[in-house]
Amino acid sequence: MKLHPSLVSSRVSYGPDASPVTQADTQSNEIICSYLGTIFPGIPIVSEEARGAEKEVREMFWLVDPLDGTKDFLAGHPDFTINIALVKESRPVLGVIFAPAINELYYAYEGGGAFLAAAREKACRIRVSSRSEPEQMVLVTSRYHGVGPESSFAAEAGFAGVFPRGSSLKGCMVARGDADVYLRLGNVHSWDICAMTAIVKQAGGKLTDLRGAELRFDEPELLIQGFIASNDSSHLRLLELARKCSRDEKASIKVGAALKDPDSG
C-alpha cells in the first residue's frame, strides 16, 4: 500500500452499496488481477472493484477483495487487508489474507492447515482455541457494523471480553485463537469472507450462516445474510443465541416503525 490515508481522503467515491472506494482500492485491484491473470490465465477473476467477470465463472474462480476495511484505512487504523480466495465447486480451497500495515500474512489450503507469517518470521501453523464456556470466551466485533445486536449477543452470552477489530482480521483472530467468536448479523458480500472461511475452517474452526449451514460460494456476487465464526467448541449453542438476538433486533425494528407510523396497524 503506497498511499497513506491522508493522500486518498479527497479521492473517495462510493460503490453501489454505498461503501467507500479509494484510489488504493483500484490500484490494489489492478496489481492483483494483473498478477493472477498472468500466472493463472485460465482461471476467471471476480473482484469487488471489477465486477462483471462473474458471467465467465464456471466451477473454479478467484474471488478478490483488494482492500477490505476501507473505512479503517481512511481512519488511519492498521486493520485493513487484502483478501484472495480460490473457489472450486462452490467452496474456498485456498485462502490468503494479507494485512500490509502490520505485515501479517494468513493463508490456508484445503487439507493442509492454516498458517501465519508475521513480519520476517517463519510461517507457523495456527489453531483455534479450545475454550468452550462463554464466560471464558472472547467475542471479536466490527467497529462499524451491527453494534446494537452484537452488544445484545455479548451481554446475553456473558463473554469474558469483547474486542473491536476491522476487516477480515476478525476471522483471523478466531483462527489463531486470540478470539473465539465472530458474529455478523447484517449482510456481507462473498468476497469479504471467502478467504476468511478457508482460514477459519483449516484452523479447526467453523463458519456457518445463521441457519447453521456451511457457506457455498455458488455465485461470485452472493450476498450472505449474516454468519457466525467460532472455535467450534460451542457453535450450536452460540448459533441459537445469535438467532435469538437477530429475531429480537428485527422485532425491535418493526415496533419502532409502527410507533413512527400510527396508521401502520
141 and 117 housed in the same domain: no
81 and 193 housed in the same domain: no
Burial class (CB in 10 A: 0-12, 13-18, 19+), 20: middle
Q: Among the three residues 125, 142, 170, which one is the final residue of a domain in this structure?
A: 125
Q: Is residue 147 part of a domain?
A: yes
Kindly indicate the confidence band of residue 149, based on its pLDDT and cuts at 50, 70 and 90.
confident
Q: Is residue 155 part of a domain?
A: yes
Tell me the torsion sign for CA atoms 91, 180, 78, 153.
positive
Q: Is residue 265 part of a domain?
A: no
Quote the number of domains for the chain: 2
180 and 70 housed in the same domain: no
**CATH label of the domain that carries residue 120:** 3.30.540.10
250 and 175 housed in the same domain: yes
Q: Is residue 251 part of a domain?
A: yes
111 and 75 housed in the same domain: yes
Tell me the torsion sign for CA atoms 196, 157, 129, 178.
positive
Which residues face 254 on adjacent strands?
A: none
R_g (Cα) of the chain, nearest Å: 19
- Quick one: how many helices (H) and strands (E) in the chain? 7, 14
Average pLDDT over residues 195-200: 98
53 and 140 housed in the same domain: no
Q: Among the three residues 125, 153, 184, which one is the final residue of a domain in this structure?
A: 125
- pLDDT computed for residue 239 by the predictor: 96
81 and 109 housed in the same domain: yes
Alpha helices in 40-179 (DSSP H): 70-75, 147-157, 169-175
pTM: 0.86
225 and 168 housed in the same domain: yes
**CATH label of the domain that carries residue 250:** 3.40.190.80
- pLDDT computed for residue 1 by the predictor: 42
CA distance 236 to 15: 35
Domain that holds residue 25: 5-125
Q: Is residue 139 part of a domain?
A: yes
Residue 154 has pLDDT above 70, yes or no: yes
Q: Among the three residues 125, 144, 160, which one is the final residue of a domain in this structure?
A: 125
CA distance 246 to 88: 31
Average pLDDT over residues 232-252: 86
153 and 231 housed in the same domain: yes
Q: Is residue 256 part of a domain?
A: yes
